Amino acid sequence: MTADILTNIHNKLTTFSKGQRRIATYILESYDKAAFLTAGALGKITQVSESTVVRFAAELGYDGYPAMQRALQEMVLNRLTSVQRIEVTDERLGEQDVVSTILQADMDRLRHTNEHLDREAFSGAVEALLQARCIYVLGVRSSAALASSLSYYLHYMFENVRLITTPSTSEVFEQLVRISPQDAVIGISFPRYSTATGKALQYCREAGAQVIALTDSETAPIARSAHYLLTAKSDMVSLVDSLVAPMSVVNALIVALTSRRKHETAQTLDRLEQVWDQYHVYEKVHI
């Protein structure tokens, strides 16, 4: 589907049946809530059957309701304010057990990521990082935690790793100004997408560096600049974004790189163990 889903619905409004018009009207007026409803829940709200909702999705040209729902979610996730996120989550949860609901949702995201992650792009990303003179890791706002974790472990394997987590666009460019074709950058961005990250990766691509993007979909802003695109399912959870699946991809990158640089990593860690022991960095736990 190339057209905005709301535009598509509006253009087809007069062709819908009575029940389908109720669905269309609800989506047009409350798309931020509709995007996260199951077919059954949407049917209940609009007083139509679940099968009518499924046929509505097909009428719009989607291969089933889940495809239409994904289109809606991709459209709204970057538009919702923090307050709207909380409101949507409250409606989604209802009276359900919060812990079970969130954990199950995260397991679904992990399963989805495992099934859809491009293994060729993953292998290419690993090679690009192994060959790079300098590795830049860029992630701001909610993605800063992922960037920091990746950078922390990369320092055990590589001598020249630079972490950029400032949300200031000008400061990001100041830290990237010396990037060259011998370097690689991995940019991390999830809804709500950071403008600074998108602009920075475009600059890195134009500078000739190898660009790795970790984001939620092929339509994400930073995907356009990527030589290697790694996608991980990341849905909104109230005020926060679920970063469970993206973190698993980060973990997989670290393990893959460690496997390729066993000797160098072992040497570094052996020296560090001596330093940690000498300066009592960690508590000695006796069992």
Query: Predicted confidence band at 167 (pLDDT cuts at 50, 70, 90)?
Result: confident
Query: Predicted confidence band at 237 (pLDDT cuts at 50, 70, 90)?
Result: low
CB-based contacts of 179: which residues, under 8 Å, 6+ apart?
134, 136, 185, 203, 204, 207, 209
Say if residue 153 is in the same domain as residue 268: yes
Total domain count, the chain? 2
- If one compares 269 and 256, the residue with the highest pLDDT of the two is 256
Residues 137-157 have a mean pLDDT of: 95
Instruction: Identify the CATH number of the domain in which residue 15 sits.
Output: 1.10.10.10
92 in any annotated domain: no
93 in any annotated domain: no
255 in any annotated domain: yes
Say if residue 147 is in the same domain as residue 37: no
Say if residue 27 is in the same domain as residue 129: no
The C-alpha atoms of residue 146 and residue 142 are separated, in whole angstroms, by 8
Give the model's pLDDT for residue 55. 93
- If one compares 3 and 202, the residue with the highest pLDDT of the two is 202
pTM above 0.75, yes or no: no
SS (H, E, C) the chain: CCCCHHHHHHHHHHHCCHHHHHHHHHHHHHHHHHCCCCHHHHHHHHCCCHHHHHHHHHHCCCCCHHHHHHHHHHHHHCCCCHHHHHHHHHHHHCCCCHHHHHHHHHHHHHHHHHHHCCHHHHHHHHHHHHHCCCEEEEECHHHHHHHHHHHHHHHHHCCCEEEECCCCHHHHHHHHCCCCCCCEEEEECCCCCCHHHHHHHHHHHHCCCEEEEEECCCCCHHHHHCCEEEECCCCEECCEECCHHHHHHHHHHHHHHHHHCHHHHHHHHHHHHHHHHHCCCCCCCCC
Instruction: Identify the CATH number of the domain in which residue 191 sits.
Output: 3.40.50.10490
Say if residue 159 is in the same domain as residue 54: no
257 in any annotated domain: yes
Say if residue 120 is in the same domain as residue 64: no
The C-alpha atoms of residue 186 and residue 137 are separated, in whole angstroms, by 5
**Domain final residue pick, 77, 98, 126:** 77
DSSP letter for 143, please.
Answer: G
**Domain final residue pick, 77, 100, 123:** 77
Give the model's pLDDT for residue 32. 78
The C-alpha atoms of residue 101 and residue 38 are separated, in whole angstroms, by 14
Residues 252-275 have a mean pLDDT of: 91
Residue whose C-alpha is closest to residue 106's, from 223, 240, 253, 256: 240
Say if residue 15 is in the same domain as residue 121: no
Residue 178: other Cβ atoms inside 10 A: 11
Question: Could you give the residue ranges of the DSSP H alpha helices within 94-143?
Answer: 98-116, 119-131
Show the domain range for 25.
1-77
Give me the residue label for tokens 């992990």: 110
283 in any annotated domain: no
Say if residue 59 is in the same domain as residue 120: no
Give the model's pLDDT for residue 205. 97
Give the model's pLDDT for residue 236. 58
59 in any annotated domain: yes
Say if residue 130 is in the same domain as residue 248: yes
Give the model's pLDDT for residue 263. 87
Give the pLDDT confidence of 4-51 residue by residue, as tens digits. Answer: 788 889 888 889 999 999 999 999 888 878 888 899 999 999 999 999
pLDDT for 278 beyond 60: yes
> Across the chain, what does the average pLDDT equal?
88
Say if residue 121 is in the same domain as residue 202: yes
**Domain final residue pick, 77, 103, 137:** 77
Give the pLDDT confidence of 124-146 residue by residue, as tens digits. Answer: 999 999 999 999 999 998 899 99
Q: Report angle CA 116, 154, 162 to the nearest 5 degrees.
A: 105
Give the model's pLDDT for residue 81. 61
267 in any annotated domain: yes
Say if residue 161 is in the same domain as residue 39: no
Residue whose C-alpha is closest to residue 35's, from 9, 2, 15, 59: 9
Give the model's pLDDT for residue 2. 40
Give the pLDDT confidence of 174-199 residue by residue, as tens digits. Answer: 999 999 999 999 999 988 789 999 99
Say if residue 151 is in the same domain as residue 260: yes
Query: Predicted confidence band at 219 (pLDDT cuts at 50, 70, 90)?
Result: confident
Query: Predicted confidence band at 224 (pLDDT cuts at 50, 70, 90)?
Result: very high
Say if residue 44 is in the same domain as residue 160: no
202 in any annotated domain: yes
Percent of the chain, pLDDT > 70?
89
Q: Report angle CA 244, 250, 253 to the nearest 5 degrees.
A: 145
Query: Predicted confidence band at 1 (pLDDT cuts at 50, 70, 90)?
Result: very low
pLDDT for 89 beyond 90: no
76 residue type, one letter: V
